Amino acid sequence: MLKQLVKNKGALIGLVLIIILILVAIFAEFLVPHDPYDMDIWISYEAPGWFAEDSRYILGTDDMGRCVLSRIIMGSRVSLMVAGMATFAALFFGVGLGAIGGYMGGKMDALIMRFMDLILSIPAILLAIAIVATLGPGVVNAMIAIAIVRIPQMARVTRSMVLGIKEEDYIQAGKALGFSHFRILFKHILMNCFAPIIVVATLGMGTAIVVEASLSFLGLGAQPPIISWGRMLAMGREAIRSAPHLTLYPGLAIVFTVLGFNLLGDGLRDIFDPQLKQR
């Protein structure tokens, strides 16, 4: 599989982007050229370094004179952490609900899937906004909101996979041998649903990052002093005439992150499902 990954150009670029990003987030403290929290209003709104010869700030400074590059580097943590934990939680509950529904069938299945349909019938970002508005702004609540809106898709994919696999001969054999439902479901069925779930989760990371940025942009996500890209964009909007670099660069960070996950997700889908690639 690793070989195929290297051969698939898109997936490789995506993977490299994501690895770089994760490394940046982990080693943020050592990579920042300046203290991202250090305020100095005498140098506020300084233009990016490659435009102004004498500037020490490559991507300029914000309204408080803080280094934009350092803040983008630090901000990668919140983006990745919120999106990652939310996707993980959505994966946990979504796969669980989808697997139980698909395996048990009947009323349980109908109940779970109708509830998933209900969540899907409200536009995801709108529902996330409403949930955070209810729970109150903050990183943890944003995470919960993103996880909730991401659950239905995971549940649907898992359910459809489980429905297909549970009729296979080897599952029937397992039942005949008297294995417990738990063992059959988790050891034999879910192990074989791995590929599409990974694809959906990877693509879902991109969505989760956009939703996180949207929530922070509206002031519903991470609260200061925590640095987040969405929040930086909201600040940049205030100074759109005088300091366009405040909206450009944090946004580019979001775009490249989402792009990375989209490329990897698309690539993985091609690898797992070679028929699609023929197109």
Partner 1 sequence: MFKFTVRRMLQLVPVIVGISILVFLLVHLAPGDPIRLLLGEEATPEDYERLQRIYGFDRPLYVQYFSWAGNAIRGDFGVSIRQGVPVTALIYSRLPATMELAFFSVLFAVTFGVPLGVLAAIKRGSPIDLSSMVLALLGVSMPGFWLGLVLLTYVALNVGWLPMFGRGGSVFYGIGQLFTTFSTEALFDGFRYILLPALSIGTAMMAIITRLTRSSLLEIMGKDYIRTARAKGLGERVVVFKHGLRNALLPVVTIVGIQFGVMLGGAVITETVFAWPGVGRLIVNAISQRDFPIIQAGVLMLAVIFTLVNLIVDLSYALLNPRIRYD
- Give yes or no for residue 134 binding partner 1 (CB under 8 A): yes
CB of 186 to partner 1, least distance (A): 30
151 binds partner 1 (CB under 8 A): no
Residue 173 sits in the site that holds partner 1 (CB under 8 A): no
Rule CB under 8 A: say whether 127 interacts with partner 1: yes
Q: Is 275 in the site for partner 1 (CB under 8 A)?
A: no
Does 20 engage in binding with partner 1 (CB under 8 A)? no
Inter-residue contact 206 to 255 (CB < 8 Å): no
Which of these, 32, 145, 129, lies nearest to 83 by C-alpha position? 145
Task: Out of 201, 213, 264, 271, name the contact with partner 1 by CB under 8 A.
Answer: 213
**CB-CB contact of 21 with 76 (8 Å):** yes
**Per CB under 8 A, 105 contacts partner 1:** no
Binding mask 230-259 for partner 1 (x = CB under 8 A): ---x--xx--xx--x--xx--x--xx--xx
Q: Does residue 118 touch partner 1 according to CB under 8 A?
A: yes
What secondary structure does DSSP assign to 18-71, as a single string? HHHHHHHHHTHHHH-SS-TT---GGGTTPPPTTTSTT-S-TT-B-TTS-BHHHH
Q: How far is the CB of 50 from partner 1 (least distance, A)?
A: 17
> CA–CA separation, 208 vs 204, rounded Å?
6
Of the listed pieces 26-34, 51-59, 157-165, 207-215, which binds partner 1 according to CB under 8 A? Answer: 207-215
Q: Which of 126, 140, 183, 238 is in the footprint of partner 1 by CB under 8 A? A: 126
Calculate the CA dihedral of residues 136, 141, 146, 149 and round it to 10 degrees.
-60
> How many Å apart are CA 187 and CA 154, to the nearest integer?
19
> 53: burial class by Cβ within 10 Å (0-12, 13-18, 19+)?
exposed
The DSSP 8-state label assigned to residue 268 in this structure reads H
Q: List residues binding partner 1 (CB under 8 A).
A: 114, 117-127, 129-131, 133-136, 206, 210, 213-214, 217-220, 233, 236-237, 240-241, 244, 247-248, 251, 254-255, 258-259, 262-263, 279
